[in-house]
Structure 1
């Protein structure tokens, strides 16, 4: 049962509708340009700009007015509430967007849902979510900024748009913000634990009992600080697992729901109870079945920042995990779990 989300500030709805299940590509940076339009009916300046320039949300239009990027009949206007009337000419200065890393431009994004404020993606494995010191590779947020330049305006950090994280080799559904307001709203939902998060994991062995709760605090591993471990005075962490398919004593397919969002939480919790994730070389062992940790963010439930509606998004099991499941089913015939089906 999902939690009720806190009441959200009202944000403008996206006028162009949502897009689901599509891949998008990006172009490199653009030159500065000025767009002009003639006002058709009396309105507030920020609303007139957002209606005439669909690429801008009402929030972005208001900010651009306040930053002096909008002129009315040749004069700079800095008050979003300024009334404009039919026949007046409005000019909007679009700043040049910096050229992006060509590697980011080339990263395809699989969109599960998008509106004016929120982007829900199906992240591929092998992609780090955000930049870090010493990291010289393209990240998900850099790819998002290449496809959606408005994300670069959220703040001055290299994590604008990031709401929560998935490990590099964890695939699946992830939420990102396209506006500062949405970033605050979505982060608050994760902080207050008002979201629902369910994962699929292939693990070693035969978990007993076949379902249970792991409630164990996590913190840096005293013997290797780059790892996490169950520690006495760590941060609270709670995971709930359920066996969907059991493959003899070799492996099992689990659904895992997490109620906290600690670093490496599922991987550490499952290792602590003797069933590390298949292919997890940091906490378990390499696997012939799959070339990375067999962990997939399957379902994510959030309240949309745009309209306050509760939505649950599902990322289908990726091909490498589907292939691993099919191979395990051949060696250990089982009835396919209805949650994932035959995977033909």
Structure 2
């Protein structure tokens, strides 16, 4: 059983505890929280509470997460857009809204469920829940991912990521006008102490993170940019763009809450992916245009 401790901030005071806790971790559902409360796995200031308890500022919440049940990955025909495939590696274009691998609350409809249906062999290094998965992109980010079909290929691709030789370029629409045509954001990223679901720029328990950006187009209140990852931290582009006061448009976690845009999720697309083939050594590079909803948003901004 894992134990997590949170302190309620002024911003969150007055909220029901069964609504607040799921905001700390995207894999925790409200129904899970309500079950844990009934099982007295959640305490406030050392005492058990009910699901309708309204938190106060400086309350100390302790969440004791039971050992996870074993998930069975069921193959599903999700008609994945496989851009490239050979006997060692494949590249898939993940749609926005699709989770990469099964987790509590997301047992079905994930990229892994679809891969299990369409692909004969996948590496087993990451276990039965994440077969073939070398790196991830967020649920509401679309774009290209490389997948390993055997363990040797998996190890090679991971080493390339660690050596920062993989070419990963994203297109993003961000709030405000970025004045510089090009720039580099070099700022370490770690987990937000107040909200575990969020990452933030911090010097405490963080890892180095570097994002290079180039302005493609400017509009009245938005900028279209291309971002190149030098490192691959959780939510890196989203956190870095917020850090320079230009959060990604449509981002429900790091962007302005009152801004409504005709797009479901953040306007962020992993459009270019390049790497060395793990066996032949040949350089492979693939690209995919932004999805239709993001293209429609660009057309609207250009008008």
TM-score with structure 2 setting the length: 0.72
Residues 1:292 and 2:265 aligned together: yes
- Matched residue SS, 2:196: strand
8 A Cα contact 1:197 1:300, kept in partner: yes
8 A Cα contact 2:77 2:117, kept in partner: no
State the match for 2:276 in structure 1: 303
State the match for 1:277 in structure 2: 248
How well do the aligned residues superpose, as a CA RMSD in angstroms? 1.7
State the match for 1:228 in structure 2: 199
Residues 1:241 and 2:213 aligned together: yes
Q: After superposition, what is the alpha-carbon deviation per residue over 1:180-230, rounded to whole angstroms, capped at 9, x for unaligned?
A: 111111111112211111100000110122321100000011221210000
Count of aligned residue pairs for this structure pair: 229
- Matched residue SS, 2:300: helix
Q: Work out the CA distance in 2 between the residues paired with 1:306 and 1:107.
A: 29
State the match for 2:147 in structure 1: 176
State the match for 1:323 in structure 2: 296
- Matched residue SS, 2:198: strand
Using the TM superposition, give the Cα deviation of residue 158 of structure 1 relative to its aligned residue in structure 2, in angstroms: 1.4
Gaps of 5+ in 2: 1-71
Using the TM superposition, give the Cα deviation of residue 153 of structure 1 relative to its aligned residue in structure 2, in angstroms: 5.7
Q: Work out the CA distance in 2 between the residues paired with 1:223 and 1:208.
A: 32
- Matched residue SS, 2:242: helix
Instruction: Give the direction of change, closer, same or farther, for the CA distance of 1:155–1:170 in structure 2 (3 Å limit).
Output: closer
Using the TM superposition, give the Cα deviation of residue 245 of structure 1 relative to its aligned residue in structure 2, in angstroms: 0.4
Which region of structure 1 is more displaced relative to structure 2, 139-148 or 193-202? 139-148
Query: Structure 2 matches for 1:47-58, cutoff 5 A?
Result: none
Query: Structure 2 matches for 1:1-344, cutoff 5 A?
Result: 101=74, 104-151=75-122, 156-233=127-204, 234-248=206-220, 250-285=221-256, 286-330=259-303
Using the TM superposition, give the Cα deviation of residue 179 of structure 1 relative to its aligned residue in structure 2, in angstroms: 1.1
8 A Cα contact 1:145 1:152, kept in partner: no
Q: Work out the CA distance in 2 between the residues paired with 1:153 and 1:267.
A: 30
TM-score with structure 1 setting the length: 0.64
Using the TM superposition, give the Cα deviation of residue 137 of structure 1 relative to its aligned residue in structure 2, in angstroms: 3.2
- Matched residue SS, 1:105: coil
Q: Work out the CA distance in 1 between the residues paired with 2:222 and 2:157.
A: 35
Which region of structure 1 is more displaced relative to structure 2, 118-127 or 131-140? 131-140
8 A Cα contact 1:115 1:306, kept in partner: no
Larger Rg over CA atoms: 1
